[in-house]
Amino acid sequence: MTVHPLDDAVRLTPGADGALVGRTTAPYANMVGPFGGTTAAALLHAVELHDDRAGDPVALTVNFAAPIAEGEFRIDTALMRANRTNQHWTMTLTQPNGVMTTATAVFGIRRETWSEVEAVMPDAPAPETLERFPTLEGIPFMRNYDLRYVAGPPPVDGVGQPSSTTTLWARDYPARPLDFAALTALSDIFYPRIYRRLGRPVPAGTISMTTYFHVDAAGLAAVGDDFVLATARGQQYARGYLDQTGQVWSRDGRLLVTTHQIVYYKD
């Protein structure tokens, strides 16, 4: 049976002292190190595999301390505190030269309550009416996604824009049923917002990323392997840092994720 590239990228096996061991994979390489979305997905998956885990992800914060080198890495997880509803976890990804990434996660058991969504899903034509965006040179991980831009594609003309907003349909390629690892990776699918404002790439990288999950396992199963609509915009660019906020929606209008990043850049 063929293994999907994402499942290979987040595969973890038992290591020494209760740790889990993974390995970077060439299909998810980025310009420097692996695609941050798959690193975040592996960290979340480490908690999913733990015998003490209860409930589904509610929040995940990943701090990228250093570029991850090609090859093997180790993830240590610890349940810091738990109650009847929530669990609080820490995760640390290390390689021989030290700590590369740290993370925290909240897992929770969701209950039926009054619910409402104030956020508004962007208007967008059906993904089937849009062309798949080609893979950009030097960014191998993009080959693993079917990306169809509604607005704000990566700049190619050197002309800056007054708005950094990007909206696109996205799904794994080949298509794969959505789970929390895949949703975590998809929440990091946006190129840096400063590229759009300046109209050109500059050295940039995510320092810290937080993902809030608004869906449970049953809700994800209902999405299946369909496209999701992802939208993001920057909020401030100053003294080498920018922040970005984003949303991921199902085709039928369910808010799946809100996400926030702080990004380091040079210009």
Give the total residue count for the chain: 267
| Three-state DSSP state, 29 | strand
Q: What would the pLDDT profile of 55-85 be if each residue is shown by its tens digit? A: 999 999 999 999 999 999 999 999 999 999 9
Return the pLDDT at 158.
86
Per the structure, the count of domains in the chain is 1
**Alpha-carbon span 43 to 239, nearest angstrom:** 30
Q: What would the pLDDT profile of 2-21 be if each residue is shown by its tens digit? A: 899 999 999 999 998 899 99
Are the C-beta atoms of residues 55 and 226 closer than 8 Å to each other?
A: no
Could you list the residue range(s) of the whole structural domain that residue 48 is in?
Answer: 5-109+125-265
Mean pLDDT over the full length of the chain: 96
Q: Tell me, what amino acid is at 151?
A: A
CA distances from 95 to 25, 39, 117, 153, 223 (A): 15, 13, 41, 35, 35
Is the pLDDT score of 37 beyond 80? yes
Average pLDDT over residues 219-223: 95
Residue at 204 is within a domain: yes
Return the pLDDT at 7.
97
**Alpha-carbon span 202 to 194, nearest angstrom:** 8
Residue 149: give its domain's CATH number.
2.40.160.210
Return the pLDDT at 68.
96
Instruction: Please name which of 80, 97, 79, 91 lies closest in space to residue 45, comparing C-alpha atoms.
Output: 91
**Alpha-carbon span 127 to 118, nearest angstrom:** 24
Average pLDDT over residues 41-53: 97
Return the pLDDT at 156.
83
Residue at 117 is within a domain: no
Residue at 91 is within a domain: yes
Share of the chain above pLDDT 90, in %: 93
Q: Which two tokens stand for residue 170?
A: 């996205």
What is the model's pTM?
A: 0.96
Residue at 116 is within a domain: no
Residue at 248 is within a domain: yes
Q: Is 19 exposed, middle or buried (0-12, 13-18, 19+ CB in 10 A)?
A: middle
Are the C-beta atoms of residues 202 and 241 closer than 8 Å to each other?
A: no
Return the pLDDT at 114.
94
Residue at 35 is within a domain: yes
Is the pLDDT score of 43 beyond 90? yes
Residue at 114 is within a domain: no
Is the pLDDT score of 1 beyond 80? no
Return the pLDDT at 267.
85
Average pLDDT over residues 259-264: 97
Q: What would the pLDDT profile of 128-174 be if each residue is shown by its tens digit? A: 999 999 988 888 999 999 999 999 999 988 899 999 999 999 999 99
The stretches of the chain forming alpha helices (DSSP H) are: 5-9, 36-48, 180-186, 193-198, 217-223
Return the pLDDT at 2.
84
| Three-state DSSP state, 32 | coil
Are the C-beta atoms of residues 266 and 240 closer than 8 Å to each other?
A: yes
**Alpha-carbon span 110 to 115, nearest angstrom:** 12
Residue at 115 is within a domain: no
